[in-house]
Chains A and B, each alone.
Chain A
Amino acid sequence: MNMRFAFGAALAGTMILSMAPAQAQDEPIKVGILHSLSGTMAISETTLKDTMLFLIEQQNAKGGLLGRQIEPVVVDIASDWPLAAEKARELLTVNEVDAVFGCWTSVCRKSVLPVFEELNGLLFYPVQYEGEESQRNVFYTGASPNQQAIPAVDYLAEEEGVERWVLAGTDYVYPQTTNKILEQYLLDHGVAPEDIMINYTPFGHSDWQTIVAEIKVFGSEGKKTAVVSTINGDANVPFYRELANQGIAAEHIPVVAFSVGEEELSGFDTSPLVGHLAAWNYFMSVETPENEEFITAWHEFIGNEDRVTNDPMEAHYIGFNLWVKAVEAAGATDADAVIDSIVGLETPNLTGGIAKMLPNHHVTKPVLIGEIQDDGQFFVVWETEDLVPGDAWSDFLPESAMLEADWTAPINCGNYNTQSQTCGGSTVAAAN
């Protein structure tokens, strides 16, 4: 109820303010929240909208930013990507927000990118993604493949002795690009092509019998096998159910997932899944004072002790705090000033490390591998010793190995070719 009231009040506030003429210094700083609150992605993104409202409320309680209050402007993109571009335009031109936090899927990000480039806005994107992109107006606070996929594969190969790989994913851009990078990485490390099985399924796939049976046969040919899953959203529950029912235990064929977190697991009984893995940069179970404080405050805000926290929430936490610091450092909220001042800024993350904004607009993150427990939480079994800097362009794909992104002078380019020493131009076109 509290939530809905805040949301309504925010909307009402926006309307009143957009009617009134500009009120100089006392006018609040507006922040756009661009998430799906209905449709298929509502399941994941509604929580992120709440997270942003929570972070803004906390910041306002601390006295706001530059002596002004922060005002959230919430829009619903309804899991509809052309609508996302329209709503982004509306946020930037009609509501005149100073920064936007939003999107979950890569297709959402790709469709709003041209808007942010054209109108020179700021987008903080909080989800792990496939990389191969760096745009001046976007800050990628989730993991790039070298901060999630590659370390997970290393873990399986080294600690579990895995030699055969099933790369299973949902049929869209994130799994396909990630699997392309992983396949090349595995081939480079001496895995034979016949020891890699790649499988794609449609969104919301629910009949996993054949595929799980195939994985079982593939895994019974004498070599230790693991499944690397980029299966997204709703399809995971029937997938894990089928695994459990067909008797594939984590001890024999572990599944490491990149899109399954605490929020997704809260939908089912995890006791048959104990031991399957997930790779993220944050787990709710990490025991640090920062994390405990965050969880307590979140529960208080949302009014429900059962709500979990997850990795994209931490990404918004990092992104929001970095933006606040950048605005404070620049003393202004306009996009160019923030883009200049944000690079190199640091803020503590929730796992006891430091998130630093890099010149390629990605952040440094630790990589954690967790095993699913029967209470729906993860037990961290492995983590990188140091923070891993996010890499925009994968070093394992021949076409992007020589590309670097650097948004500081003198390069100021999202796809700088280190061999020819030229800039590839707009990354929006290149990424598509």
Chain B
Amino acid sequence: MRPIRSLRLLFALVGLSLTLLAGVARAQDVPGLIEAMGEANLRELGGIVEELAATGDSTVAPALEALADGDLYVDEADGRVVIVTRNRMYDPVTQTEIGPAGDADLSRIRINNSLRRDVAAALGSLTLMSDDPTVRLSAARSMRANPTEENLILLDEALAAETNPSVRGAMETARAVTILALDDTSLEEKRAAVPVVARNAGREAITILNAALGSAPEELATDIRSAIAGLEQERAIWAALQNVWFGVSLGSVLLLAAIGLAITFGVMGVINMAHGEMVMLGAYTTFVVQDVIRRNAPELFDYSLAIALPLAFLITALVGIAIERGIIRWLYGRALETLLATWGLSLILQQTVRSIFGPTNRQVGNPSWMSGSFEFYGLSLTWNRFWIVIFAIAVFTALLVVLNRTALGLQMRAVTQNRRMASAMGIRTPFVDAMTFGLGSGIAGLAGVALSQIDNVSPNLGQGYIIDSFMVVVFGGVGNLWGTLVGALTLGVANKFLEPYAGAVLGKILILVLIILFIQRRPRGLFALKGRAVES
């Protein structure tokens, strides 16, 4: 091994000095190359990026970064290439400000996927020696994607100087990945690299090891296979947990959609087919709030949901009260008429929204704290789903408190249990009816704000949830909030466990069949109300 190693070191040194020399020689070309980007087509751009990367000159990094982010423009007037950020133009090489971009005739230099990959790889090798540890960290990560002989040398060199432990870890992983991918590294090195990859490369470990398996000699292949087997066992456990999470998150969406209905249908007994439209109104409120913010105060965008929540509650609660006072109160005790009237109402609301906002989807953005995902041990949780689960729990708790700890809640329960007795005790039952319906509708509006983050904001938004909501309330047991909670979570988790085996279409059918069978056995749902109130 020894002679080979020293030989490699020699090669490495020669290679390194050659790249450095080339770098010096090319340094003058950098502005010229960047200038040429202005007129280049996709294929020529690829060549230029390659040449820029080959200079090894870190001054080209800003231009490449701008290219990847879509901030590199060419001035159509004089063919000059500039970086544009916050509406100001900068020189791509020296970074000096040229002036405001305002009225210049700029057109963006566009790139495609393969070029984007090349740029990321080039940036990785160019910024590995940066002073900023976060830049070094992302450079080390991006070098995994591009295992080459030169990168191995760069990594060795960078590792020797690195002191930051997390960056060091990333570099070691990148080095191990590179060693596994290259043909002419020694068997010893490769065998040493396998556990490093298995331990540190996270979700990509199996991919990398599988790729290395193809050309591996027998000794190495056994190592790799056992590492993969270990990883897969671990992954299977995490996959099951991940599925539970998906189920909980679907369940929380169902809970949010259904919980308002649990009040209007469950507590009041009104079959409200327009419930879905209350959800839709909540979502459109979010759209309007975001639209106003976008136009007037874009810096407030991250708070848009916090502003939309109370507004959505108020608006949908008021619409709900108007519906109760205007239509439903004339129809108490006549289930079929209520069903038809609210169904018609839902069509009217949909068409109204369609006429005001147009038939196409409206754009509701995710605030930055609701975008992307985070790793929690072996689980990958998306932020928007995570916050929706938290939000669903919060709404549920708040509702429990309102029903059990406030005067209004007491009156609501009294009226639903025995209307005439409650009336005799001096409770204004019509007022309580309106408030209860308003509360149920307002909560549907809150659900709309949450759903706008994961679904389309279109006039049809509510239709997709109305059947599921009724299903949850009936399954959980009419008139019982805990039943709604358990029902929603059970349906969510069951759905997600069936989906991988049965597919989304068949899974949904199976769930419906199971519910029908269940309702046959227990017509009053999971948590049936007992006592005299039920009989009346």
Contact = CB atoms under 8 A, between A and B. Distances in A.
Interface stretch (A10-18, A26-34, A371-379, A413-421): A371-379
Contact of B207 (A171, A220, A238, A274): A220
B458 interface: yes
Contacts of B210: 221-222
Contacts of A64: none
A300 interface: no
Interface string B5-41: 0000000000000000000000000000000000000
Interface in A209-245: 209-211, 213-214, 216-217, 220-222, 234, 237-238, 241-242, 244-245
B430 interface: no
A430 to B, nearest CB: 26
Contacts of B454: 206, 238, 241
Interface string A245-274: 111001100100000000110111100101
B505 A269 contact: no
Contact of B458 (A234, A247, A379): A234
| B-side interface mostly | helix
B206 A43 contact: no
Interface stretch (B86-94, B106-114, B129-137): B106-114
B191 interface: no
Interface residues of B, number: 55
Interface in B77-127: 110, 112-114, 116-117, 120
Contacts of A205: 504
B363 A272 contact: no
B371 A245 contact: yes
Contacts of A220: 203-204, 206-207
Interface string B223-262: 0000000000000000100110010011001000000000
B242 A213 contact: yes
A247 B505 contact: no
Instruction: Categorize the interface residue count of chain A.
Output: 35 or more
Contacts of B249: 209
A39 B376 CA distance: 42
Given A43-B359, A245-B373, A213 B354 contact: no
Nearest to B498: A210
Contact of B380 (A214, A244, A246): A246
Contact of B382 (A199, A206, A217, A242): A242
B496 interface: yes
A100 B116 CA distance: 46
Contacts of B246: 207, 209-210, 213
Contacts of B508: 202
B360 A266 contact: yes
Nearest to B508: A202
B42 interface: yes
Nearest to B454: A238
B20 to A, nearest CB: 30
A209 B464 contact: no
B175 interface: no
A206 B524 CA distance: 29
A402 interface: no
Contacts of B361: 43, 234, 237, 264, 266-268
Contact of B464 (A204, A210, A247, A274): A204
A159 B114 CA distance: 8
Contacts of A204: 460, 464
Nearest to A199: B503
B409 interface: no
Nearest to B120: A251
Contact of A381 (B42, B207, B383, B456): B42
Given A40-B460, A234-B458, A237-B361, A171 B120 contact: no
A272 B371 contact: yes
A37 B459 CA distance: 13
Given A220-B203, A234-B456, A241-B454, A263 B464 contact: no
Interface in A17-53: 37-38, 40, 42-43, 46
B458 A43 contact: yes
Nearest to B372: A245
A201 interface: yes
Interface string B177-212: 000000000000000000000000001101100110
Given A38-B351, A40-B460, A245-B371, A202 B504 contact: yes
A242 B354 CA distance: 26
B496 A251 contact: no
A171 B506 CA distance: 11
Contacts of A381: 42, 112
A200 B371 contact: no
Nearest to B385: A209
Nearest to A250: B113
B44 interface: no
Interface string B481-495: 000000000000000
B380 to A, nearest CB: 7
A275 interface: yes
B384 interface: yes
The 6 residue pairs across chains A and B that have the minimum distance between CB atoms: A267-B361, A222-B210, A245-B382, A42-B359, A209-B246, A201-B504
Given A200-B503, A238-B455, 5 more contacts: A206-B464, A210-B246, A220-B204, A247-B373, A267-B360
5 contacts: A200-B505, A207-B253, A237-B456, A238-B455, A245-B385
